[in-house]
Amino acid sequence: MSQQQETLTTSYWEGVNIKLRALEPTDAEFFFQLQQDTERNRLLDFLHPPHSRAALEDWVREKAKREFKNDAFQWLIETLAGDPVGSIATQTCNSRDGTFSYALDVAREHQRRGYAGEAIVMVLRYYFQELRYQKVNVATQSDNAATIALHEHLGFTHEGTQRRMLFQQGRYFDLVLFGLTKEEFEGNRR
C-alpha cells in the first residue's frame, strides 16, 4: 500500500487525488469555460448552441439547491487543492431493479490524470455499498476512444453496440454500451 493510500481521510467523498462535492452557485464560471470546448461537447453528446453566463448561473444555482432525490445527484470533481476539473452526475436511477447510469465530464486539460476513474469508483462504491444498487450502465459514442478505454480499464463489460444512433458533423456514430455489476466491481477492487 502506498503512503498516499495509507493516509486516512474523514470524508467519504475524498480520494487520493480528488474530492467530490455538491455544486455551488460560484461554479457557473467553470461550466461556462467547459462549454467553450467544441470537441468536448461533441464527445459528450452533441454540439449545443452557446449558453449565456446568465443561463449557466441559473442552471448551476438550481442544481446547487437540488436535494438528493430519487438517488440522482450531480457532483463537482475537484483536486484536493480545490481546483475544479469536471463533474459526474448519476441518472436513470431505478431503485426497484437496482440499476443506474451516470454522465461524466472532465475538462480536456485535466484528462489522463486519473481523475475520471477515481470519481467513477467513488460513485460506484457509494451506489453499490450504501444504496444497494446492483448494476451500472454507461453508453458512449463509438469515436470516444478515451472513454471506451477508461471503462474497459475499470472492468466494465461491452454489452452491445447500437448502430448509427448519434449524428454529428454530417456523419452517424454508433452508441457503445457498457455495464458493470456490483460483484464485478467488488472483484476488481481486491
Q: How confident is the model at residue 86 (pLDDT cuts 50, 70, 90)?
A: very high
CB 48 within 8 A of CB 41: yes
Beta-ladder partners of 77: 20, 86
Which of the 8 DSSP states describes residue 96?
T
**Which CATH class name applies to 14-188?**
alpha beta
In terms of pLDDT, which residue wins out, 40 or 80?
80
Cβ-based neighbours of 99, under 8 Å, separated by 6 or more: 92, 93, 133, 134, 135, 136, 137
**Span 64-74, mean pLDDT?**
91
Q: pLDDT tens digits for 15-41?
A: 999 999 999 999 999 999 988 888 777
**Whole-angstrom Cα distance, residue 168 to residue 119?**
28
pLDDT given for residue 8 in this prediction: 57
Length of the chain: 190
Q: pLDDT tens digits for 145-158?
A: 999 999 999 999 99
**Whole-angstrom Cα distance, residue 80 to residue 18?**
5
Q: pLDDT tens digits for 95-142?
A: 999 999 999 999 999 999 999 999 999 999 999 999 999 999 999 999
Q: How confident is the model at residue 66 (pLDDT cuts 50, 70, 90)?
A: confident
pLDDT given for residue 9 in this prediction: 56
pLDDT given for residue 110 in this prediction: 95
pLDDT at 1 over 50: no
pLDDT given for residue 68 in this prediction: 85
**Domain residue extents for the chain:** 14-188
**Whole-angstrom Cα distance, residue 121 to residue 115?**
10
* Continuous H helices in the chain: 3-6, 28-34, 38-44, 53-65, 115-129, 145-153, 182-188
Handedness of CA 45, 46, 47, 51 (dihedral sign): negative
pLDDT given for residue 57 in this prediction: 94
Radius of gyration in angstroms for the set of CA atoms belonging to the chain, rounded to a whole number: 17
CB 116 within 8 A of CB 104: yes
Cell of 82: 480545490
